[in-house]
Structure 1
Amino acid sequence: MTENVIHAIKIVSNQLSRKMNKFAKQFGLTGVQIQIIDYLNHLPQNQFVYQKDVEHEFNIRRSTATSVLQKMEENQLIMRNVSPSDSRIKIISALPKAEELQPQISQFLAETNTDLLNSISTFQRRGFLKALNKISNELTTEEKKEYKNETEHRL
């Protein structure tokens, strides 16, 4: 019998999304928003973050990043300022409201990560993380090839 990896990964992904969203809901946020807050708050103070960085870090499309960041800006969690080097792009930074949530977010993410990893042995953990990275790299390579082919066909 062939194992349905796609189905198994999708189920786990949905379970994790629900867990993240349930935690985030108490703050009126979504799971993606708390992950973005965590990402912004863990960067060095002098490091600029652009929307493209958020898109890449969370593997989300530009339109998704735009709507999530706009909502976060409306809720006074982040601020977007014009870049001094290029007025077309904006620098994203966490505001005090987001920084105040960070201890709770960090604790939740650390506990969730620990719980997940403790559910499997050290040996399984190494193989699992290695396999996830390999699968992700393969899918990224495939996406790049498809994007290149689509771009060439448009020209």
Structure 2
Amino acid sequence: MGKEIDIGRQVSGISNKIRHRFDAMFAGRGITGTQASILHFINMEGKKRDVFPRDIEAEFYIRRSSVTSVLDGLEERGFIRRENVAADGRLKKLVLTDKARKMSKQVASLISKIDSTMLNGISKEDIISLDRLLTRIGDNLS
């Protein structure tokens, strides 16, 4: 190859573009794009099981202190509650409030819109390949 490919820079740049787009789309709703993504995760996973801060850490690859900060903001704005778990008093499950549930369809719709925009003009086969490659890159970094 005549030209070096800087995959890390490209992925970082795309990540920043996605974050900026998310933030812009959710700005008028009183939450950041990251908070919206976390609310969406809690909503979807919460239908199947209890969701805890450690699940947010694992799903979004963010540190415990960052998770705490994001969850504090969501709690202050009335989007989530932290509830004790009977089996272990140290654990706090994350529960959406009515305010967050009312907004969940909008959040899901906007996330879907962003996904569609990102994948516009890309074939199904290329999307499958992209998913496989990104998974492998993530695994290589684990």
Q: TM-score, normalised by structure 2?
A: 0.93
Task: Determine helix, strand or coil for the equivalent of 2:51.
Answer: coil
Output the aligned Cα RMSD. Answer: 1.3
Q: Cα distance, 1:132 vs. partner? A: 0.4
Q: In structure 1, what residue type is equivalent to 2:86? A: P
1:16 maps to 18
Structure 2 equivalent of residue 125 of structure 1: 127
Identity of aligned residues (%): 27
The unaligned stretches of length 5 or more in structure 2 are none
Give the structure 2 partner of residue 111 of structure 1.
113
Between stretches 108-117 and 9-18, larger displacement belongs to 108-117
Local SS of the residue matching 1:60:
coil
AA aligned to 1:109 is I
Shift of 1:44: 4.7
Q: Using the alignment, how far apart are the partners of 1:108 and 1:64 within structure 2?
A: 24
CA distance in 2, matches of 1:45, 1:20: 24
Aligned twin of 1:86: 88
Shift of 1:34: 0.3
Aligned counterpart in structure 2 of residue 96 of structure 1, from 85, 94, 98: 98
CA distance in 1, matches of 2:78, 2:108: 20
CA distance in 1, matches of 2:90, 2:124: 47
Look up the SS of the partner of 2:87 in the other structure.
coil
Give the structure, 1 or 2, with the largest relative contact order (CA under 8 Å, sep 6 or more).
2
Show structure 1 runs of 5+ residues with no match.
Answer: 141-155
2:20 counterpart letter in structure 1: R
For normalisation by structure 1, the TM-score amounts to: 0.85
Deviations 1:43-88 (A, max 9, x none): 3546211111111111110000001001111111000011111111
Counterparts of 2:44 and 2:136, CA distance in 1: 26
Relative distance call for 1:5 and 1:45 in structure 2 (3 A) is: closer
1: CA distance between counterparts of 2:14 and 2:46?
32
**Cα offset for 1:40?**
1.4
For residues 120 and 6 of structure 1, the distance between their equivalents in structure 2, rounded to whole angstroms, comes to 21
Question: 1 or 2, which has the higher strand percentage?
Answer: 2
